[in-house]
Amino acid sequence: MSELSQTPLHELHVALGARMVPFAGYSMPLQYRTGIIKEHTHARTKAGLFDVSHMGQLRLGGSEAAAALETLTPADIVDLPDGRQRYALLTNDAGGVVDDCMVANLTGDLLVVVNAATRSADIDHLREHIGGHCTIEVLDQRALLALQGPASAGVLARYAPETASLGFMSIADVSLAGGECRVSRSGYTGEDGFEISVDAARAEALARELLSHDEVEPIGLGARDSLRLEAGLCLYGQDLDTTTTPVEAGLSWTVARSRRAGGARPGGYPGAAVVERQLAGGAARRRVALLPQSRVPLRAGSVLQGPDGSHAGSVTSGGFGPTLGAPVAMGYVQSPIARPGKLLSASVRGNAIPVEVARLPVVPHRYVRGGATG
C-alpha cells in the first residue's frame, strides 16, 4: 500500500471502515462495512457517493483544440455545444480503442476525463499528436466525486437548485457547500446522477457534507463494478481495448454522423477506414449481455461455445447482479449468434454452464434527459 497513490479522500475512506485495495496504481475502497450488495442496492434506490478521483482530468485550450481532438476520435467535438459533454473513444490505426473518455465544452475549453489505468499513456498520446495545436493541462489538484442514484438530484439541489435543471450530459460551474465545483449530470451506474469536480483541498469537506444526508451512503469499487455491469457499461481493459473497434463493442453511436462517409467531416481519425467498413458491412463479432442459467457467475476469460461445441466467443466481464438477483456477464460472440435468446455454454472450472445471450443493458438506464429534482 505504501507505494500506491492516494486520493484526497483516502483518510475519509479509512475512517468509514473501507476495505482498501490496489486499483490502477491507487489505494481505493473496495467496499465499506455494509458490503457490496447493500451498497449496490442503495445506489439503485437512493444515492451513493463514489470517489473517482483516480481518474485523470485534463483541460485542452486554444481555438484549435476541438479540431485537433477530432483527429484522434470519431466523435463530433467541433460542434459540441457549450455546457455539454460527450462520451468519446480514442482510436488507433486498426480502429481499436486506445481509451474511452468524457469530453466537455465549458466556455471554449475542452475538459477531458480519462481512465486511471491509461492516464499517463493518454496524456503522452495527446501531447505527441495534438500538443502543437492546443494547450494540455493536467488538473492534478482536483478531485472527482460521483453522486449516483434516484435521490441524488434532490440532495444536490439543496445546495445548488440550478443543478435540477441540468439535463443528461450537461455540465456547469456551480457553488456547492460554500465552494465552486464543476458538475455534470452523468455517471457510470445507469442511474440518474452527477459527477463533481472539486478542488482537492475541499474534497473531503464536500464528501462529508453530502454523506450527512440520510439518502447518501459511500459506495466502493465492488458495487461500482456490479452497477456498471448491469447497466451494460464498458470497463476499459476488459470490455474495450486496442483490439476492439467501436462497431464490435456496440458503440457505433459514438461515431458521429458528421464523421461518417457523406458527413461534414468524414474520417480523419485513426482507423477510420476500418470503422467505416464495419459500419457498412458489419463486424465479425459483437458485444452482448450474457445471462448464466445457473447460480455460477462467469468471469473474464471464460470461453463460450455454441450448441455444437464450436468456439463462439469469450466473456470479458462477469459477476453477480444484485438488482437481478442472479449472475450477469458481458462478452463478445460471433455476429451470427449475437441474438437475444441464443443459447451458448461457458466453461467454468471444467464445467459447461448454460448461458443465454441477451440485449444490453440488462437493467434499463434511468438517465434524466430534461431537468428534474428527483
Q: Is 79 helix (H, G, I), strand (E, B) or coil?
A: coil
Residue 25, pLDDT above cutoff 50: yes
Say whether pLDDT at 371 is over 80: no
From 213, 230, 247, the end of a domain falls on 230
What are residue 30's DSSP bridge partners? none
Position 372 pLDDT exceeds 60: no
Q: Residue 159: give the domain boundaries.
A: 5-53+141-230
C-alpha cell at 213: 444526508
Give percent above pLDDT 70 in the chain. 98
Residue 99 has pLDDT above 90, yes or no: yes
Q: pLDDT tens across 176-191, in order?
A: 999 999 999 999 999 9
**Alpha carbons 357 and 290: distance in angstroms, whole number:** 5
Last residue of a domain, one of 168, 200, 230: 230
Task: Identify the pLDDT of residue 1.
Answer: 46
**pLDDT of residue 368 exceeding 60:** yes
Q: Average pLDDT in the 240-250 region? A: 98
- Write the pLDDT tens digit of every residue in 44-59: 999 999 999 999 999 9
- Tell whether 352 and 220 lie within a shared domain: no
CA 278 – CA 23 distance, rounded (Å): 34
Amino acid at 253: W
Region 98-112: mean pLDDT is 96
What mean pLDDT comes out for the span 322-328? Answer: 98
Q: Is residue 79 part of a domain?
A: no
Q: Is pLDDT of 318 > 80? A: yes
Full strand arrangement of the beta sheet holding 193-199: 171-176, 179-184, 193-199, 142-148, 47-51, 216-218
pTM: 0.96
Which of the listed residues 199, 230, 261 is the one where a domain comes to its end?
230
Residues 158 and 33 in one domain: yes
Give the cell for residue 241: 481495448
Give the total residue count for the chain.
Answer: 374
Mean pLDDT of 10-25: 98
